[in-house]
Structure 1
Amino acid sequence: MSDTVPVDTAPVHDAEIERLVEPSRQSPAVRVFNTVVRSREMSILIVLLLVIAAATVKTPSFLFSANSWRDLLLTPAILLVLAAGQAVVIITRNVDLSVGSVLGLTAYLTGRLFLDFPGLPIVAVVAAGVVAGGLLGLVNGLLVALGRVPALVITLGTLYIYRGIVLTWAGSDRINAGDMPRDFLRLGTRSVLSIPVLFIVAAVVVGVVGYYLYAHRGGREMYAIGSDPEAAELYGLNVRRRVLAAFVLSGALAGLAGVMFAARYGTVSSGAGTGIELEAVAAVVIGGVAIFGGSGTVWGAAIGAVLLVTIDRALPILGIPDFWQRAVVGALIIGAIVLDRVLSARQARKLIEARDES
C-alpha cells in the first residue's frame, strides 16, 4: 500500500493564492506598494489631486503656466517645514502652539542680523535662526517634559510671550527688502529645474524627519510614547528626553521657517507668522496624524499642508464664497479626527477579538 498522502490538485484562483501568501514571503516592493495604497496618506493625496484637477478644468492656467506651477510649489513651502516639526510633537501626544510666534521672532532676527552686521555670511544667519528657534523650543520642552505641565497650556503661554518679545523688539518698525542681501532674497525666488529652492529645502526637511521617524529607534520610541506614555515609561523608554527632543526639533524647524519667510517675502514686521500655528496643526491633523498621538506620518502632514494651501487658491477659482472656503477646511479637520477615532475603535475591537480567539 502506498504511503503517499493524497494531494488536492484542484486549481486555485489567483486571488485566493494572493490571499494565502504570507506577508513575510512577499517581496519588499509588494509590501511597500500595499502599504502605500492602503494608507490614509493616499486618500489625502487623491483629494489634493481632485482639487487641482477641478481648478485646472475651470481655469487651465491654474496648473498649466510657469508662474502657477511655481506658486503651487512655493506657497506651501513654509507651512511644510512647520508641519514636519508639528507632526513630531503631536505624534508624542503633545502640541506646539508657539511655532507661529517662533517664526515671527526668527524672521525678524534674520533681518536684524543682516541690518546690524553687514557682510555676515548667509549660512551663519540661517544657522542663527535655526539655533534661536531650537532654544525657544527647548524652553517649551523643559516646561512640558520636566515640569509635567500640559503642552497645550505651556505653548499657548509661550505663544503670547514670544509674540510679545517680537512686538517689543520690533515695535512699529519693519525690515525691508533693501536691508537684506540680494543673494539671500534670491533664495525666495530662485528655482532649480523649475522647482523653487524653498520647496526643495522643505522637501528635504520632510524627507529627513520622515525617515528618522520611520527607520530609527528614536523615531519609533516617539510613536510608542504617543500611543501610551505610561506604558512606554514602564517599558524603560526615556519619555522626557524624547518629548524634549520633539519640542526642540519643532522650534528649530520653526526657526528655519522664519528664515524662509524673510527670504520669501523680503519684508518682516512684528506680525509675521500670526495665526500660522493653527494652519500647521490643521495640516498635521488633515494629513492623518492622530491628534491623540501614536500614529500618522510626516509624509501625510506634508500632503495636508499642500492641500490646505491649494484649497485656499483653488476654491475662489471655483466660485466658492469665503464662508464655504473656511467651512471646507473645518470639515476636513473634523472628518480627519472622526476618521481617526473610528479607525482606532475598529483596531481595538479587532485586538480584543483576536485575544478572545486565542
Structure 2
Amino acid sequence: MIAHILKSRETILLAAILALLAIIAARFPAFVAPSNLINVFNDTSTLILLALGQMVVILTRCIDLSVAANLALTGMVVAMLNTVAPGVPIVAILGLAVALGTLMGAVNGLLVWKLEIPPIVVTLGTMTIYRGIIFLISDGKWINAHEMSAGFKDFPRAVVLGLPVLSWIAIAAVLAFVVLLGRTPPGRAFYAVGGNPRAAVYTGIDVGRTQFLAFVLSGALAGLTGYLWVSRFAVAYVDIAGGFELQVVAACVIGGVSIAGGIGSVGGALLGALFLGVINNALPVVNISPFWQLAISGSAIIVAVAFNARASRSKGRVILKSAEHTA
C-alpha cells in the first residue's frame, strides 16, 4: 500500500513541486513566504478551474481547445454589459457567464455527439469562431479598468478567511469534482466511456451523451473563469488568454490524465496546474523571460505523454507475461 502511494503520479508530482520550491527558496527565500504562496495559488486558480473541465473532456477521449476562446468571449460580453449597466448584480453576471459558457460548451458537445465530427476539429473551429465574435461585438476595442464598476472588479479580489474569493471558488470546484467523479453515476460514466467505449455501451451508457455532458461542464467552467479573469485583471480584449488552452492541456497531462482517455484524477489535475503555476510565477523571479512559459508547457506535454505511454506499455507486458504463465 505504502509502495503504491510512493509510486503514484500524484505523489511524484507533489515531490517535484516541493523540490522546485526548495530550489527557488535557496536563492529567493521570500518566494516561499506564506503570503506569496497564497498569491501563487490565487494566480493559478483560473488554470485549476479550466483544467478540471478539460480533465473531464479528456477522460471521455475528447479534447476541448476552445476553452480560452470561450473564456475570452464570455469575459468580453460581461465586461460590455457592465459598462452599459453597471448596476447589474454580481450574482446575475455570474449566472450569465456560466450560462454563456455552458452554451458554447454545448455547441461543441452537440457537434461531436450528433455529427460525429472529431473533437479536435470541432474545438479548433469553434475556437476561431469565438475569437471572431469577440472582434465583431467589440469592434476590436479594449475595455479597461476605468470603464468597469468597482463591484465588478472587486468580487474575485475580496478576501475571506485569508484567501481571495477567486481561490475559494477554485477550492470549491475541486471539492465538487471530487464528489462528481468519485460518487456519482455521471462521474463513473466519464471513466467508463474513456476506458472502453464499447463496453460502456453494453452497460447502458450513452457514449455521445456522456461526451456532450463533459463539454458542457468544460464550457460552464470556462464561462465562469471568463468573468473571474476579466474582473481580476480589469481588462477585456480580443486576444485575452491567447494560447492559454495549451497550459490547460499541459496541466492535465502533467497531472497524469491520459490523452487516450479513462485515466486521471482531480488531485492529479490540481497538482499539474500548481506545478505550472509555480513555474510561471518563478520565471520572473529567476530572471527568465515569461515567453518561455509556452515552450515549457509544450515540452512538459511531450514528456508527460511519453511517460504515460511508457507506463501503459509496461502494464501491457505484465499482462501478457501473466497470461503465458497461466497457460
TM-score normalised to the size of structure 1? 0.85
1:244 aligned partner: 212
2:131 aligned partner: 163
Secondary structure at 1:172's aligned position in 2? coil
Distance 1:328 1:278, change over 3 A: closer
Q: Which of the numbers 145, 151, 165 marks the counterpart of 1:197?
A: 165
Task: State the one-letter code of the partner of 2:159.
Answer: S
| Aligned-residue offset at 1:230 | 2.6
Task: State the one-letter code of the partner of 2:215.
Answer: F
| Aligned-residue offset at 1:203 | 1.4
Distance 1:199 1:36, change over 3 A: farther
1:85 aligned partner: 53
Question: Is 2:9 the counterpart of 1:40?
Answer: yes
Contact conserved, 2:280 with 2:290, CA < 8 A, in 1?
no
1:190-235 CA-partner distances (Å, limit 9, x unpaired): 2223222101101111221132112222111111111122332233
1:60 aligned partner: 29
Over the aligned positions, Cα root-mean-square deviation in angstroms equals: 2.0
Contact conserved, 1:138 with 1:244, CA < 8 A, in 2?
yes
1:331 aligned partner: 299
| Aligned-residue offset at 1:321 | 6.4
What are structure 2's unaligned runs of at least 5 residues? Answer: none
Provide the rounded CA distance (Å) in 2 between the counterparts of 1:50 and 1:297. 22
| Aligned-residue offset at 1:326 | 5.3
Contact conserved, 2:253 with 2:304, CA < 8 A, in 1?
yes
More helix by share: 2
Provide the rounded CA distance (Å) in 2 between the counterparts of 1:324 and 1:239. 39
1:213 aligned partner: 181
Secondary structure at 1:188's aligned position in 2? helix
Task: State the one-letter code of the partner of 1:254.
Answer: A
Provide the rounded CA distance (Å) in 2 between the counterparts of 1:217 and 1:112. 39
Contact conserved, 1:82 with 1:280, CA < 8 A, in 2?
yes
1:279 aligned partner: 247
Contact conserved, 2:72 with 2:240, CA < 8 A, in 1?
yes
Structure with higher Rg: it is 1
Contact conserved, 1:171 with 1:270, CA < 8 A, in 2?
no
Provide the rounded CA distance (Å) in 1 between the counterparts of 2:219 and 2:105. 4
Contact conserved, 1:108 with 1:268, CA < 8 A, in 2?
yes
Distance 1:267 1:46, change over 3 A: same
Contact conserved, 1:126 with 1:259, CA < 8 A, in 2?
yes
Worse-superposed segment, 176-185 or 296-305? 176-185
Provide the rounded CA distance (Å) in 1 between the counterparts of 2:297 and 2:85. 42
| Aligned-residue offset at 1:266 | 1.0
Question: Is 2:258 the counterpart of 1:290?
Answer: yes
Distance 1:178 1:326, change over 3 A: closer
Contact conserved, 1:55 with 1:315, CA < 8 A, in 2?
no
Q: Which of the numbers 276, 281, 289 marks the counterpart of 1:308?
A: 276
Distance 1:88 1:183, change over 3 A: same
1:277-303 CA-partner distances (Å, limit 9, x unpaired): 111011111111001111011221121
1:253 aligned partner: 221
TM-score normalised to the size of structure 2? 0.93
Provide the rounded CA distance (Å) in 1 between the counterparts of 2:123 and 2:129. 9
Identity of aligned residues (%): 39
Contact conserved, 1:80 with 1:202, CA < 8 A, in 2?
yes
Contact conserved, 1:56 with 1:62, CA < 8 A, in 2?
yes
Task: State the one-letter code of the partner of 1:199.
Answer: S
Question: Is 2:46 the counterpart of 1:99?
Answer: no
Provide the rounded CA distance (Å) in 1 between the counterparts of 2:190 and 2:275. 26
What are structure 1's unaligned runs of at least 5 residues? Answer: 1-30
1:109 aligned partner: 77
Provide the rounded CA distance (Å) in 2 between the counterparts of 1:324 and 1:258. 24
Contact conserved, 1:91 with 1:222, CA < 8 A, in 2?
yes
| Aligned-residue offset at 1:240 | 1.1
Distance 1:100 1:345, change over 3 A: same
Question: Is 2:78 the counterpart of 1:128?
Answer: no
Contact conserved, 2:71 with 2:226, CA < 8 A, in 1?
yes
Contact conserved, 2:192 with 2:262, CA < 8 A, in 1?
yes
1:139 aligned partner: 107
Distance 1:333 1:183, change over 3 A: same
Provide the rounded CA distance (Å) in 2 between the counterparts of 1:326 and 1:105. 22
Provide the rounded CA distance (Å) in 2 between the counterparts of 1:322 and 1:81. 22
Contact conserved, 2:247 with 2:297, CA < 8 A, in 1?
no
Provide the rounded CA distance (Å) in 2 between the counterparts of 1:60 and 1:190. 27
Task: State the one-letter code of the partner of 1:61.
Answer: A
